[in-house]
Amino acid sequence: MFELDQLSPSVRSLKPSATLKINEESNQLIAQGKSVIKLGLGQSPFPVPEVVVESLQAAAREKDYLPVKGLQSLRATVADYYKRQTGLGYTSDSVLIGPGSKELLFNLQMACQSDLLIPTPSWVSYAPQAHLLGRKVSYLQVSAENRWQVQPEQLDQYCQENPARTRLLILNYPSNPTGCSYDVGSLKALAEVARRHKLIIVADEIYAETTFSGEFHSLAEFYPEGTVISSGLSKWCGAGGWRLGLMAFPEELRPLQDAMAVIASETFTSISAPTQYAAITAFTPSSAIDAYLDASRKVLKEIAGYMVSRLRNCQLEMEAPEGGFYLFVNFQKWRDALAHKGIESDEALCQRILDEAGVAMLPGSDFGMRPEQLYTRIAYVDFDGSQALSAAGTGITENFMEEYCPRLVKACDALSQWLGDREEV
């Protein structure tokens, strides 16, 4: 029989993805008849736009293997999309299509012989992917005081102190787990440092289209020669299960793109043909897509404002998000009361809240924070996205949250009650 010591050491030490694990655990508890409000997995609550669904239906008979880099017409459409977004001269040759941005991020790390540099906190899978490949991971500690942004002088100092190897930096904005993003001035300053030190940067812009204001700028606009844009359909298009990711490369990084295509040819070959044909519609400008994005942004902005207000009233601390589905919440002001109840780590905190309040969330340590810092990530996605989109189309009403997002209201009530029960007398 196969023994544990026959596993690769890098795999043996790996834990399941935290986001997927909490989702499965929540579903198991629900199957057992328990009430759980699911604020763990960051899955879009919105339906796939109907025009995109119709395109998938029309393409259902497409069955042939497609080019490894992706369907040519899709790649051209994506290139046009990024031309409009950035003003840069992307072509179909700039684009690589894959089975979700997660797989493409892994393949890029595999193809690029470099150390990985990421902010703390950051998405749960960047570092484990590097560990699977035996790569060194370095961290840039960011803080709430700077809205969780990497500071240019911080990046410059790190690069000066570590000059020897190629460095790959992943920046995710709007961020999972914080919801914070970068303004134009910050991006320009980071671009200057990156250019000086010849960094390769992956701009993980999977949440770009969820930016509440509708205005978004890419780092690629200011550092085009060294920036790879990463995105897909999962977050802004509600199509996580369709597993379509993409990357857009500058000419200077074409060898990296070509190497990733070689990896793809020996692993996943190409992704589902019908999905690629349908994605053309998703990335093609239309009134239907514009209306969908406008309504989803209104909904997410309304929810974020409500959640921040309610949770701050519970003496919880967080930065107000600018996009995405997330709050990065600090329970520091409750430290003494929690310790009195035997809760001294973020993992214990999340487990007790799940067990006693029926609210599932993730500990900040899954995103690189220290357990004793008592951070949690809340994904405010447990609501009926179809109903919320329809309502937002005619305008957000005063009772929107109670009518269309009652489970999120209930989550705030439950957390308020749970914390109140822990106040020391």
Q: In this predicted model, what pLDDT tens digit does every residue of 13-26 receive, in sequence order?
A: 667 666 667 778 77
pLDDT at 423: 61
Residues in the chain: 425
Q: Cα(223)–Cα(226) distance, rounded to whole angstroms?
A: 6
Q: What integer best gives the mean pLDDT of the chain?
A: 94
Percent over 90 (pLDDT), the chain: 87
pLDDT at 33: 83
Contact (CB, 8 A) for 232 and 246: yes
Q: Which two tokens stand for residue 383?
A: 């609501």
Average pLDDT of 316-327?
98
Q: Which two tokens stand for residue 16?
A: 């399941």
pLDDT at 23: 75
**Which domains are delineated in the chain?**
4-47+288-420 (3.90.1150.10), 50-284 (3.40.640.10)
pLDDT band at residue 425 under the 50/70/90 scheme? very low
If we measure between CA atoms, which residue out of 363, 353, 342, 362 comes closest to residue 412?
353
- Residues 100-158: pLDDT tens digits? 999 999 999 999 989 999 999 999 999 999 999 999 999 999 999 999 999 999 999 99
Q: Work out the burial of residue 373: count CB atoms within 10 Å of its CB; fewer than 13 is exposed, 13-18 middle, 19 or more buried.
A: middle
- Residues 148-201: pLDDT tens digits? 999 999 999 999 998 867 789 999 999 999 999 999 999 999 999 999 999 999
Q: Which two tokens stand for residue 253?
A: 């990084």
Average pLDDT of 29-45?
88
Average pLDDT of 47-55?
98
Q: Which residue has the tokens 């406008």?
A: 294
Listed in order, strand segments (DSSP E) in 129-178 are 137-141, 167-172
